[in-house]
Chain A
Amino acid sequence: MSDPTTDVDTLQQRLTAVREEVGKRIIGQREVLEGLLVCILADGNALLESNPGLGKTTMVRTVADVTDLDFSRVQNTPDLMPSDITGTEIIRESGGEREFVFERGPIFANVVLADEINRATPKTQAALLEAMQEKQVTAAGETYDLPRPFFVLATQNPIDQEGTYPLPEAQTDRFLLKLVLDYPSYEEERDIVNLYTGGGSGSSPAVEKVLTREEIKRIQSLVREVPIADDVRDRAIELVRATREAETVDFGASPRASMGLVLTAKARAFLQGRTHVSWEDVEAMATPVLRHRILLDFRAERQGLTTDDVIDDLVEDV
């Protein structure tokens, strides 16, 4: 039996290798990549807000490649049906007999990229989010477990909102993190252009698989064991509760946010190679955990405040 502490060190080194491998294809976007990995380690799902062409598909696919996970992509449209995602029963003929067989949908993968989720109808959104929450799919009276680890990355386009179905607050609360992908800096964009328009075959640089599914499961188990000091945990809870009492916030975060904040702080600590949660982890995860869980008061909006501004103020006050 291997020494458990050695195992921890080994897994943390693997995560460092994952970041290095992803860095071969993705220039910059370190915070978003960290958020993605935190979400996987915490066994959660992420909502990604980004303009088109910022490489979110490449990033998620690369993460799946280096972690030996299955990857599938769903392009949401208004005519997309729930069964198009979860799967449906079809009649299959074999040996002269016909039988109903469940044909699994694209959601049966370890990493699912649900592109432009707000373009799907609420019915389809609900089916996707229910599967995401329950980690299982029910069709024709049969329940099918989704593969583990299971991670959904749903994207939203912040512009061009016409003809979309914005996710209701109760649905967005199911996402552990909301990540915002911004445009790269000039130097980063120059490196991206050089990387993908330079010599070679023109395809993406090769990456190695450095983390197995089993190792991800072990890491997910270890993350929950990361010790957190009582005062750090209490401050994290106070921070979430402060969103319900702040004058600038009309609708605050739920206790699910408190759990999410502590869990993602633990995952970030593990990702950083530490064995305990620091307040720095809570601060770093506060905005992605809370930004999609609060609604600003009209006075705050009139002052031009964003949810990120309000959360920053609350973090400073706690």
Chain B
Amino acid sequence: MSGTASADADADDTTDLPDEERKIRRALTQIRREGWKVAAIYATVDAALFALVVNLAATVLGGVPRLPDRLPIPSTVVRTLRETAGVTLAEPTVSSAAVAGVAVGLLAFVVEVAWRVRRPLVEQFEAANPALRESLRTARDAVRRDQHSRMARRLYESVLDDLREASSVGLLDLRRIAVTVVLLSAVSVATIQLAVVDISLAGLGDDAGPEAPTGGTESDYAGLQDGSSILGEPEDVPEGSENLDANIDTSGSGGGDGTDAESAASYEDSGFEGPEGVESQRAGFTDQEQLEDAELIREYNLRIREEDNE
């Protein structure tokens, strides 16, 4: 922002200049300020996108190489937070992925602002407002040459009139900003989703840590991990010495002890009877077929015993 500061200083040194020239100098300062604002807008949205993408990528890939999963927050910061905002951090650490994202975002912001202001800001404004490009450029050169002639003053008046109807919105590519914001929203949603379901590709690598029961790594799970702290230390249960006999009676239909007639009767007496006398039928083999099978089994058993005896 040194450019703006120096421009302001220039504007302050113009008290002895004609009114039109002083105004045009102020207008040029204002144009440069608008250029800085536009550069900051672009850089902010892009830096936020970079920060979130890096954070997301680092989280999915299982952390930042050569950095621990969590980095300690400096004690001064923790103390300051506690004293000023009354916030007490239970765990004074921060994810290395988040730190990497913020670092990349800050770097992207600085680089983009520097890249966008490398071309003179007034020239960018002239390009965005072609109707007053020539007059503004001429006025700029005239101011630089300290021209105070009648025609120069008339030019300054004309340019000031035109500038009142000009806008710096043309400096902004609204479509590009909108696309970046949409991407930003998508990455934000993905980041939230990642925090909820805890997706990790760390298990795909050989150097991945042991998996937690939920599928994530141990380091990702911040809940209860030591069951002994709740259930106590494990101990041997003493063996029982008293023997007891227990009899269990069975009852109900369908069992092998009931006769076939009883079974059939109990089946027919139960179930739903419709208003039109639809009779229920028992599926399966008929009684006769069952008897024949029993006889056949018995015959086979006898023969097998005879063969064993022999």
Contacts and interface: CB of A to CB of B under 8 A. Distances in A.
B28 interface: no
A8 B149 CA distance: 12
B158 A275 contact: yes
A245 to B, nearest CB: 27
Given A227-B147, A275-B158, A5 B153 contact: yes
B137 interface: yes
Interface stretch (A32-40, A85-93, A106-114, A276-284): A276-284
Interface stretch (A66-74, A145-153, A165-173, A228-236): A228-236
Nearest to A233: B141
A9 B161 CA distance: 15
Contact of B155 (A7, A9, A275): A275
A4 interface: yes
Contacts of B140: 229
B141 A230 contact: yes
A211 to B, nearest CB: 18
Interface string A48-70: 00000000000000000000000
A231 B147 contact: no
B30 interface: no
Interface residues of B, number: 19
A237 interface: no
Nearest to A231: B137
Nearest to B148: A225
B139 A7 contact: no
B151 A227 contact: yes
A227 to B, nearest CB: 4
B79 interface: no
Given A4-B150, A5-B150, A8-B150, A229 B155 contact: no
A227 B134 contact: no
B149 A277 contact: no
A18 B138 CA distance: 28
Sorted from nearest, which 10 A-B pairs have the closest CB atoms?
A: A225-B149, A276-B138, A4-B150, A275-B155, A225-B151, A229-B138, A227-B142, A5-B154, A275-B154, A229-B137
Interface of A: 4-5, 7-9, 222, 225-232, 270, 275-279
